[in-house]
Amino acid sequence: MYLYELPTTGAISFADFCADHSNDRAYTHRIPEVTQARANLRGALKESKRTDHGEKDFLALVKLIEEYLPHIRAIIDCVAHDETGLKAEPTFSWRTTLTANLFNNSPRLDLPGLHADYSFTLLTYAFALSNLAYSIVISVGPYERDRAITDAERLAKEEKLNVALNFLCRASGIFTYISDTVLPEWDTHRASPPNFHRPPDLSREVTSALAKMSLADAQTLSIRRLLSKSTYDSNITPGPPLPASHSPPALLAKLHIECASLYSSALTLAKTPGSTKGSSGGSSKEVSADVRRYLSNQATLHSALSHKWLGVDAGEKGGTARGGEAVAFMQWAKKELEELKDGAKRVSLGAAGKEQEERWKEKINEELASTNLFLKYYKKMNDTLHFQPVPSQRDLQSRIPGGRIAMPAKPYTPPAPAFGPGSLEYVHRKAEQLEISGDATDEESTPTPAHPADGYSPPTAQPVGNYVGAGAYF
């Protein structure tokens, strides 16, 4: 999983550029509340920047972002409905964390317009959810390898993985919402300088890439959860034959194929903005090498694991006819894993540091050892029992199935505005105004009955006859 460096932002007061245009000045006291909610978020981001990773409180940060989002949406909607006016176009300062930079730091950019702040807040929201999932996974540890763990403890650990998986699916939905909804709205409503270009962090290609990356990370956790029980059962005797608790190898292969596809697609999208130039100083709009390297390594890893499980499926389920196929897939997987181990692409896991890099290398070594175990077994079986030809890598290409998604992204539904059009408070206030207006209209339209002393007498009812059709005159 990738650990994001969280951005920071500069201070701003909404009272400096917002003017209440509503008839009853209903939002004058609300504007300072928006400033306060954003100041709370800014303080939490600065505190997170100064805190070591193991002590960061991502959950508290997520809650502060969730408190601010209804306020910035309220300001945007009030401006759109002329309930609030802008004295001048606001400029928000944010540090970009995904932009490639020569000095390997996070450049600070001034971004014009309310949609800029809304977009970066949502981006930070998705980052924080991903990092929260990361911290949960780290806290769980390699519980599958613990031979003394009880079933109850193992199930509790799996439940934590489910929580982390849910956070990643939510993050994927937020990235997609930014790409498909918020950024197009920004293009429509912004009044930015003609030479302004958004940073890679807020390009539709990169946010789409991040959505795929989060979904692939979630898929990786799903695979780990599926293998939890069988990994525990194989602690003493790893390798073939598979324990009864093992998930079908063909299913695992399809899940890894989907992972590899998601990471590869994300890598392609992440490279797209690199052909254009930034707005300040001609700096490159390329996504940081850190992100691209992570995507490349993960795509290669899951491609290798898909080949490994296709080989296991051929060896365990294919019988004599697929003995050579099992050997070929295992040789292919071993080749890819050895390329990763040799470090042709320097491993990087974002802000995680050396500890996570060591964890990555340990993962590669474990998978390579497992693959060698299966390869040795299937090769011996084929050489002594099956005697099937070993197909070439080109021949294997046509035998690779399509991928399968384990858990879809969770679509993001933005919260209702804290005030203004679309808020519950706004609906109630309008209803009260209509009720008061209706009561006043009724009073004006109802005549005041005259007093008999004024010489007025009400008309008397005319008698109606008792013949057929009496009173029914046309």
The model's pLDDT over 325-340, given as tens digits with 9 standing for 90+, comes to 999 999 999 999 999 9
For the chain, domain boundaries: 1-234+410-427
Looking at residues 40-52, what average pLDDT do you find? 92
Compute the distance between CA of residue 267 and CA of residue 296 in angstroms, rounded to an integer: 7
In this predicted model, which residue has the larger pLDDT, 421 or 345?
Answer: 421
pLDDT above 90 coverage of the chain, percent = 57
Looking at residues 153-170, what average pLDDT do you find? 94
Predicted pLDDT of residue 194: 65
Say if CB 15 and CB 36 are below 8 A apart: no
Tens digits of residue pLDDT in 196-239: 778 889 999 999 999 999 999 999 999 999 999 888 888 877 88
Query: Does the pLDDT of residue 355 top 80, yes or no?
Result: no
Q: Residue 424 — very low, low, confident or very high, per pLDDT cuts 50/70/90?
A: confident
Say if CB 172 and CB 165 are below 8 A apart: no
Q: What is the pTM of this model?
A: 0.86
Predicted pLDDT of residue 441: 53
Say if CB 325 and CB 311 are below 8 A apart: yes
In this predicted model, which residue has the larger pLDDT, 69 or 20?
Answer: 69
Six token digits for residue 126: 């998705």
Q: Residue 26 — very low, low, confident or very high, per pLDDT cuts 50/70/90?
A: confident
Q: Supply angle C-alpha 164, 168, 173, rounded to 5.
A: 145
Say if CB 307 and CB 222 are below 8 A apart: no
Tens digits of residue pLDDT in 232-274: 888 877 888 888 889 999 999 999 999 999 999 999 999 886 5
Q: Residue 277 — very low, low, confident or very high, per pLDDT cuts 50/70/90?
A: very low
Write the CB contacts of 339 (distance below 8 Å, at least 6 apart in sequence): 300
Q: Centre a 10 Å sphere on the Cβ of residue 421 and count the other Cβ atoms it contains.
A: 16
Domain 1-234+410-427 is of which CATH architecture?
Alpha Horseshoe (1.25)
Predicted pLDDT of residue 368: 94
C-alpha 353, offset from chain centre: 23
Closest CA to 124 of 187, 80, 64, 47: 64
Predicted pLDDT of residue 400: 94
In this predicted model, which residue has the larger pLDDT, 29 or 427?
Answer: 29
Predicted pLDDT of residue 356: 76
Query: Does the pLDDT of residue 281 top 80, yes or no?
Result: no
H or E segment and range at residue 437: helix 424-445
Closest CA to 74 of 84, 86, 88, 59: 84
Compute the distance between CA of residue 119 and CA of residue 122 in angstroms, rounded to an integer: 5
Write the CB contacts of 278 (distance below 8 Å, at least 6 apart in sequence): 99, 197, 199, 284, 285
Q: List alpha helices for 279-322, DSSP H.
A: 289-317
